[in-house]
Structures are given as structure tokens and as C-alpha cells.
Amino acid sequence: MLLDLNEEERLLKGGLEQFAEGAIRPKIKPFVDRHEFPTELVKEFLSLGFMGTAYDPDFAGGGLGTRGAAIVAETLARAEPGFGAIYLCNSAPMTVIARYGSDEVKKKWLEPLCRGDFIASFGVTEPSGGSDVASIKTRAVEDGDSFVLSGSKVFSTNAGAPLHGASTFVAVTDPELGPKGLSTFVVPVGTPGFKVGKAGRKIGWRIADSVELFLDECRVPKANMIGKRGDGLKQILTTLSIGRILVGATGLGLARKSIDLAKSYGADRKVGGVPIFNHQGLTFPLADALTKIHAAELMIRNAACLADAERPFRLETSMAKLFATEMASEVADIALQIHGGYGVFEE
């Protein structure tokens, strides 16, 4: 499997880097400081068409699959990890619709999301816990031509943003079937009974708002069900696996930026009359960091290739996310140490 960027991917990366470095980086800090969703910057990003990168061109997508999406997440995260998070949390509802929705559902929801008309959120995690997705309590009861949803979700990222237009919710349709009784629905903003609760202030990804959502007898047409009744668990597990590749890619972007800053600082900063990188004690951790960044990139691209080829990929996506996110934290620490005392100042 060839893991190099192909021509289309290089063009994607180049175009997006211009936006990330030219528009996001110089303007983002006040939003991070205020824990504020950067509405105008996200609008600008949506207008450039990158949101549809991964998806089918028949529905206004760019056709570059998960490999392309990983490049978008990484490049945005280099400028600001929270911007990568806004992208990847919007990708989750798009992925579930793209993989499992009928053409009618894709036309109605995926196409405007690819065009960037609005953003969406993924409502899986509930107050009682997120790891055990099979224990979801939100109910969807069939009533004539509709389903009526009741329950609550937490940590729904993007759902409190002004550009938010819809959520995909996983709910219990058939309690007697246990994990096989879950199904997924699109619920548009403005549906009576669909309420946004409070946003939690986070220690990272600050600009990506994560909110509570409440469904109080929310009625949606049956046509808003994604795929087959009872397929909800399978749909979530696959979508979360693809999401893991993008979470890993945001870690990769963060690590790359950290080490680039450290490399330029270490080349200029002199201790004992020579640049600090002349002291091997600092180049060993730098070499470790660069090696781990490379390994993470290969794992992420390999997992993305498997996903795009419709081959089994859950193990590889989990390993890529685990490795890349732990690597990001280690590399950020190495970069901070290379900066010496300046490493702890916000500037």
C-alpha cells in the first residue's frame, strides 16, 4: 500500500495550509482564550468546500475518502487543534449518513453538509456513560409516519454553535432486542422539543463547544431514520472507528507544529556559545519525537487506506488513535522542554 500523498492530496494539503496558516492562525487566539466558537472563520472554512473532502462527488463531496479527511484534520489542527475538532465532530454525522443513508437521505442531509450550508453534531454519549454505547437509554417510539424521540445526550460537539443545523441521534427503537434494538435518526434544529443545554468549558479543544442536548418528545418523519432499523450499534462503531483516525490526525497536526516551533527555536537559541541543538542531550529527544511523528503518520494513513478499501480496519484505527494521541502529548512536552523557561509562557 503506497502511503505517500498523491497529486490530489498534495493539492488539498497546499490549499488548506494557506487557509490554516493565513486565516486561522493569526486570528484564533482570542477565541481560544474566550472558549468561543469562531463563527466567521468556520463560515469561511465551509465556503471553501473542504468539509466535503471525504465524500461522494454525487453528493457535492470531494471524493478523497478517509485519507483526504485525515489530511484536513491534521492541517487544521496544526493551526489550532480545536479547529480540527470542529471538523472531525462534523465529520461523524456526515460519515454515518454517507455510509448508511439512502440516496434520498444523502441528498437531503449529506449534500448541504458537504456544501457547507450548516454543520452537524453526533449525539451518542449520554449522562450515564459513553464507553458502553450499547447501554443508550434515549428512546425512539414509532407513531404513524413518525418516530418520537425522548432522552438526553452530553458532550455533543458543535451542537451549540450558531451554524448548527442538525444532529444524528442514536436511540433505542426495540428495547427487547438489546444492542440490536438501536437505530439512528437525523433531527434538525428547530424540531419542537429539541433543546440545547449548557456548554462545558474544556481544558483543550476550547473553541469547539460541547453541549448537553435534550429531546422532549421530538417528532421526526420515518424518512429521517438512517439505514435500517436495528443497525444503530453497527453504524456507531464504524463511524467512531473512522473518527479515531481523525482524532489521531489532530494529534499528528499538534505534534508537527510543536516540533517545528522547537526546531526553529533550538537552531537559534545559544547556550555555552553554540546553538542548543549542538548538545546531543537535546537532539536525542528531538530524534525520538520525529521518529514517533513519522510512525503515527504511517499508522493513520494505513488505517485510512483500509477504511477506504472497505477492508477490516477497527484494530488499526484504534491503534493509530492510541499511538498518535499519546505521541502528541509526549512530543508537545519535548517541544516545551526545548524552549526552556519560555516553554511555559503563553506567548
Q: Which residues bind ligand FAD (CB under 6 A)?
A: 89, 121-125, 129-131, 155-157, 202, 205, 210
DSSP readout, 99-157?
HH--HHHIIIIIHHHHHTS-EEEEE--BTTBSS-GGG---EEEEETTEEEEEEEEEEEE
Q: How near is the Cβ of 197 to ligand FAD at its closest, in Å? A: 14
- Name which of 98 and 286 has its Cβ closer to ligand FAD: 98
- Name which of 22 and 129 has its Cβ closer to ligand FAD: 129
Cα–Cα distance, 70 to 248 (Å, whole number): 8
- Name which of 84 and 266 has its Cβ closer to ligand FAD: 84
Q: Which residues neighbour 16 within 8 Å (Cβ) at sequence distance 6 or greater?
A: 50, 71, 72, 75, 76
Q: How near is the Cβ of 102 to ligand FAD at its closest, in Å? A: 23
Q: How near is the Cβ of 56 to ligand FAD at its closest, in Å? A: 23
Cα–Cα distance, 86 to 198 (Å, whole number): 18
Axis-axis angle for helices 280-308, 65-79 (nearest 10): 150
Q: Per the structure block, which three cell numbers stand in for 11?
A: 493539492
Q: How near is the Cβ of 244 to ligand FAD at its closest, in Å? A: 11
Q: How near is the Cβ of 85 to ligand FAD at its closest, in Å? A: 7
- Name which of 98 and 289 has its Cβ closer to ligand FAD: 98
Q: How near is the Cβ of 153 to ligand FAD at its closest, in Å? A: 6
Instruction: Give the count of beta carbons closer than 10 Å to the beta carbon of residue 265.
Output: 18
- Name which of 157 and 235 has its Cβ closer to ligand FAD: 157
Q: Per the structure block, which three cell numbers stand in for 37?
A: 466558537
- Name which of 162 and 340 has its Cβ closer to ligand FAD: 162
Q: State the residue number with the nearest CB to ligand FAD.
A: 130
- Name which of 212 and 316 has its Cβ closer to ligand FAD: 212
- Residue 31 — φ and ψ, nearest 5°? -70, -40
- Name which of 187 and 276 has its Cβ closer to ligand FAD: 187
Q: Per the structure block, which three cell numbers stand in for 75?
A: 492541517
Cα–Cα distance, 27 to 149 (Å, whole number): 40
Q: Which residues neighbour 227 within 8 Å (Cβ) at sequence distance 6 or greater?
A: 100, 101, 102, 184, 235
Q: How near is the Cβ of 156 to ligand FAD at its closest, in Å? A: 5
287: helix, strand or coil: helix
Q: How near is the Cβ of 130 to ligand FAD at its closest, in Å? A: 2
Cα–Cα distance, 65 to 76 (Å, whole number): 17
Q: Per the structure block, which three cell numbers stand in for 144?
A: 404513524
